[in-house]
Amino acid sequence: MTFIRRLLTAGNEHFFLFGPRGTGKTSWCASTYPDALRIDLLNPAILRRYSIEPEYLITLVEANPKTRQIVIDEVQKLPALLEVVHLLIERKTGHQFILTGSSARKLRRQGVNLLGGRASQKLLYPYMAAELDTRFKLSTAVTQGMLPVVWAAEQPLNTLEAYNALYLHEEVQTEGLVRNIGDFARFLQAISFSHAAVLNLSNVAREAQVSRKTVEGYLSILEDLLLGFRIEVFAKRAKRKLAAHPKFYFFDAGVFRANRPAGPLDLATEIEGAALEGLVAQHLRNWCAYSQGRHSLHFWQTRSQSEVDFIIYGEQFFCAVEVKNSTRVNSGDLTALKHFTEDYPQAKPYLVYRGEDRLMRDGILCLPCEEFLAALKPDNFPS
């Protein structure tokens, strides 16, 4: 597959680059810093060397004064190495450290000091439609998701299944995060029914045949590894009684499809609708992470079940987005957006659907989903 330029911007400061496996952290570092020194802690021999003597890094850096960048891949494999990095930063050697890993929360849970605030944090997520440009096809994305490792494969769906099996199951067990991989596998299948839905942990526990406390622990693992995320109800200056529970999403629509059972008792339209909403969710989360200023992603649901799928609220932008897996826009599709803008006239409403035409209905911009996603870029929102 040809080179694909990512929308993540580099900087001159030290930083952590977090993201799930397969999102292209190593490739991004290689293309952005082609002359950097690289330490790959996924390589067993290199991991052993630095495990025995973390200070080996000092001799390496001192011997390469003209090499500006030092990239350390999968730094969570050896948290002790961060103490040495911290020391080198304090010495002001003139080097820039770029440290990749699966999760900041995972390191914090191990009691690791993330360089005492001397390094910023960046996140790399699956592709956005704008990164793929003309290669992006909505039907493909809804089926296989947006993971770079999947899009680069000759047989994407087989690669997706392998990723799901090897990373979401075996990697979690290898890290010692769960004791019973069978319980965790049932949990993944059970929580797939909560993708793009309000989360009810008791229902997930019952379906997975484990305790609610166990489900809470498993959910934390997904979030620690950036494999799933929750969005909270938007309740700022609320004028109505609102729902109390968050919604859940897998980090990628393809990973959701890989975990969701599909058979005679599972409605294909329901699965595709959840995948489409998840695809929009991951794009909006990416947009919040990559754009300037602080923006947060929410949803809005009243006790009377009037719901808007997504609310973006931030320093420079406030909008409401409703997603419909249909090729037509009906008047009933706009009801929740109208309710929301009655309460929040400052918000710009959007309806995103599977049709081909841009429409303006009752002051609400209705956009084809493929057009909407393709136009999402850092600091640029469809209009």
Q: What is the pLDDT of residues 330-351, one digit of tens each?
A: 999 999 999 999 999 999 999 9
Classify residue 381: in a domain, yes or no: no
Output the CA–CA distances (angstroms, integers) from residue 132 to 67, 128, 129, 148, 359, in the order listed.
32, 7, 5, 10, 25
Residue 119 sits in the same domain as residue 133? no
What per-residue confidence (pLDDT) applies to 168?
66
Q: Is 317 exposed, middle or buried (0-12, 13-18, 19+ CB in 10 A)?
A: middle
pLDDT band at 355 (very low <50, low <70, confident <90, very high): very high
What per-residue confidence (pLDDT) applies to 224?
84
CB atoms within 10 A of CB 354: 19
Name 241's bridge partners.
none
What per-residue confidence (pLDDT) applies to 115?
80
Classify residue 328: in a domain, yes or no: yes
Residue 296 sits in the same domain as residue 239? yes
Looking at per-residue pLDDT, the higher value among 292 and 200 belongs to 200
Residue 167 sits in the same domain as residue 46? no
Domain boundary among 123, 153, 174: 123
> 356: which 2 tokens?
């081909």
Residue 147 sits in the same domain as residue 199? yes
Q: Which candidate, 15, 307, 1, 253, places its Cα nearest to that of 140?
A: 253
Domain boundary among 123, 140, 160: 123
Task: Decide if pLDDT at 304 tops 90.
Answer: no
Classify residue 6: in a domain, yes or no: no
Task: Decide if pLDDT at 1 tops 60.
Answer: no
Q: Looking at the 3D structure of the chain, how many domains does it have?
A: 2
Residue 181 sits in the same domain as residue 133? yes
What per-residue confidence (pLDDT) applies to 175?
59
Classify residue 183: in a domain, yes or no: yes
Residue 209 sits in the same domain as residue 276? yes
Q: What's the whole-model pTM score? A: 0.92
Residue 189 sits in the same domain as residue 287? yes
Residue 60 sits in the same domain as residue 153? no
Output the CA–CA distances (angstroms, integers) from residue 333 to 271, 336, 350, 361, 368, in the order listed.
19, 7, 11, 10, 14
Considering Cα of 355, then 356, then 359, then 365, what sign does the dihedral take? positive
**Helices 212-224 and 201-208, axial angle in degrees (round to 10):** 100
Residue 81 sits in the same domain as residue 134? no
CB atoms within 10 A of CB 238: 13
Looking up residue 30, the CATH number of its domain turns out to be 3.40.50.300
pLDDT, tens digit (0-9, with 9 covering 90-100), for 24-72 = 999 999 999 999 999 999 999 999 999 999 999 999 999 999 999 999 9
Q: Which candidate, 323, 309, 289, 312, places its Cα nearest to that of 236?
A: 312
pLDDT, tens digit (0-9, with 9 covering 90-100), for 187-238 = 999 999 999 999 999 999 999 999 999 999 999 888 888 899 999 999 998 8
Domain boundary among 123, 149, 171: 123
Residue 113 sits in the same domain as residue 175? no
Classify residue 5: in a domain, yes or no: no
What per-residue confidence (pLDDT) applies to 34?
94
Residue 257 sits in the same domain as residue 137? yes
Residue 109 sits in the same domain as residue 146? no
Classify residue 119: in a domain, yes or no: yes
Looking at per-residue pLDDT, the higher value among 219 and 293 belongs to 219
What per-residue confidence (pLDDT) applies to 268?
80
CB 8 within 8 A of CB 28: yes
- Expressed as residue numbers, the domain containing 86 is 15-123
